[in-house]
A and B are shown apart, each in its own frame.
Chain A
Amino acid sequence: MYGEVGVCLTYLNEPQGKIKNLLPIITIWWREIIRFYRQRSRLFSAIAQPLVFWLLIGSGLSASFRPAGTSDETGYIAYFYPGIVVLVLLFASIFATISVVNDRREGFLQSILVAPMPRWQIVLAQAFGGTTLALGQGMLLLLLSPMIGIRFGVTSLLLSIGVMALLAFGLTNLGLLIAWRMDSTQGFHAVMNLLLIPVWLLSGAFFPSTGVPGWLAWTMKFNPLTYGLAAFRHSLYLDTTTKAFGEAAPWTLSMLITSLFCVLTYVGATLTASTQAN
């Protein structure tokens, strides 16, 4: 059944020079993409819920609620839109990192862990995988932006996509940071509901910080996602004159904190992965 053993192990010419360092990263990234393609229902679960939120809550509140500092021409549905794109990014990145939990349970991760590649490469590859998937799904949602009066120029479009990529990378790393510690996907869902959804709710996605009670305003100020969302709002409306938001953190500060968030979550995820034996 196992055939002739003798022919089985002809020794290879070793790869000349150094191992191609990028190859392991690319292959792990590619696997995330293939897996997503073969479980396309994931697309539905990451996009459908935010879309329903947007249409129901957005339309429902449009009649009675106008965010502070916005003009009369834009309604709540327009204010809520960037928050919904970020929610899609959040869902998509988190769902992508759940595969780490599954890989560990099924044993696939172990065979990556004993391969001659350092943990920072493994985490980077996983983060790129999640980022690609989340960005793809976020861009699908970006197609709806003309509906709420956003006009894109080249700069604003590229900038918006760039900010989305940054956000997706940071959120994926945040997911990885949690996933590398988790033994079950149930635990992951608990963290998602208790931690990630509130972080999103208090990022200015749902309501602006203008006029909220002091303690809430401060919580929002210390929420890194507040700055990610502000950066995204700024870049979305770069080429549009009627802005659907009032006060938001300034552009440079927002970008700075968002980038810092990416770096810190990546380092955190790498450190977590390095301390996990299996």
Chain B
Amino acid sequence: MVDTEVLHSITTESRKPKAENRIEVENLSHAYPERRALDDVSFSVSCGEIFGLLGPNGSGKTTLFKILSTLIPITSGTARILGYNLATEVRIIREFLGVVFQHPGLDGKLTIVENLRHQGHLYGLSGKTLHHRISELLECFGISDRAKERVEILSGGLQRRVEIAKALLHTPRVLLLDEPTSGLDITARQQLNDYLGVLAQTEDILVLMTTHLSEDAETCDQVGILDAGRLVALGEPDALKAEVGGDVILIESIDSDILGTAITEAFGVSTVLTDNGLRLECERGHEFVRDVVAAFPDEIQSIHFGKPTLADVFMKLTGNPFQEMEDGSTERRGHA
């Protein structure tokens, strides 16, 4: 349908957010002709928080992202962003949204400044205000000296910085990022995660990001874990991890099957066979490691002992191992 949202909404007055500084999603479902992508998802995030949507590919996080970023219309359930209804007040909501897509949203043939100016104009910024704002962001992101370079020659990490600067240009109240760390090396990833955390707090912005990396989600204030379109967990990372019993132990062996049965018989703990070997959870893991190595010195090739991660939470809740993709690989685009 033709965009019929009223034009007069973009006055100074209307741009002020309503009192509710949060995103509220209730019973959101979405189905593509071929499959159900989201199934009765509900959550709520406040400004100042960074919310991570964690899930493997195909879990529905990109669909949820596209709905929240107003790219695909809401079909079932409700979502309110800063008090505005996503189904009926898209035009106003777009004023408050800053969106960073997974696929680069920059024009490689344009320079950094030209890209930012283009974005500013789309949001009605111009003249001195825009100029001031651009130099401020260039300064802030440490890219002032490269402002006149074409985007196509910049490194991936630098391009991502320009992307985020671009999304922040019109001072959004809500920043949505789809897999912002994909394609970045570990240092750039940490820097970005740290930055987003500080940004959310100091500027009272609501940051919502999707990720398929559990380490990224660890740095969030709140995490929602999606599996096959359903939100299987919601809460603070530490609280979620506390639900996994004690410590996580991974054992590699030549014949994991036999060793698994033997361990269960000897220690009374259940083991799960994964691609990486035998996996089990237990209290006081350090003592268990000592005992199990003493009991099966020849069978165990290696043993890994660690505190639970969000990937362990996912596994405990869904029974499936959390498939993290190798960094740098490209995700298939589409209704993921």
Contacts and interface: CB of A to CB of B under 8 A. Distances in A.
Q: Do A and B associate with each other?
A: yes
Interface of A: 1-21, 23-24, 26-28, 30-31, 34-35, 38-39, 103, 105-108, 110-120, 270-271, 274-275, 277-278
B221 interface: no
Given A12-B171, A115-B94, A270 B140 contact: no
B124 A19 contact: yes
B122 A274 contact: no
Interface in B130-183: 133, 136-137, 139-142, 161, 166, 168, 171
Given A107-B102, A120-B2, A120-B3, A6 B166 contact: no
Contact of B72 (A14, A23, A116, A278): A278
Contacts of A9: 168, 171, 199, 203, 205
B329 interface: no
Contacts, number: 161
Given A108-B104, A110-B99, A115-B123, 15 more contacts: A2-B195, A8-B203, A15-B129, A18-B8, A19-B123, A23-B124, A39-B109, A110-B105, A113-B70, A114-B71, A114-B97, A114-B99, A118-B2, A277-B72, A278-B66
B221 to A, nearest CB: 16
A179 B129 CA distance: 35
Given A7-B139, A12-B129, A278-B71, A2 B191 contact: yes
A274 to B, nearest CB: 5
B12 A16 contact: yes
A8 B199 contact: yes
Contact of B103 (A5, A39, A106): A106
Interface stretch (B111-119, B237-245, B285-293, B320-328): B111-119
B185 interface: no
B3 A27 contact: no
**Which A-B residue pairs are the 4 nearest by beta carbons?**
A107-B103, A19-B124, A118-B3, A27-B121
Given A3-B141, A15-B126, A278-B72, A106 B133 contact: no
Contacts of A278: 66, 71-72
B117 A19 contact: no
B91 interface: yes
A278 B70 CA distance: 10
Chain B, interface size category, equals: 35 or more
Contacts of B161: 2
B125 interface: yes
A162 to B, nearest CB: 28
Contact of B140 (A3, A19, A34, A113): A3
Contact of A114 (B8, B70, B117, B141): B70
Contacts of B3: 118-120, 274
A5 B164 CA distance: 13
A2 B194 CA distance: 9
A188 to B, nearest CB: 18
Contact of A113 (B5, B71, B106, B119): B71
B307 interface: no
Nearest to B120: A27
Interface in B176-232: 188, 191-192, 194-195, 198-199, 202-203, 205
B71 A5 contact: no
A111 B119 contact: yes
B281 interface: no
A47 B48 CA distance: 55
B118 A31 contact: yes
B136 A275 contact: no
Given A2-B195, A110-B103, A275-B1, A116 B136 contact: no
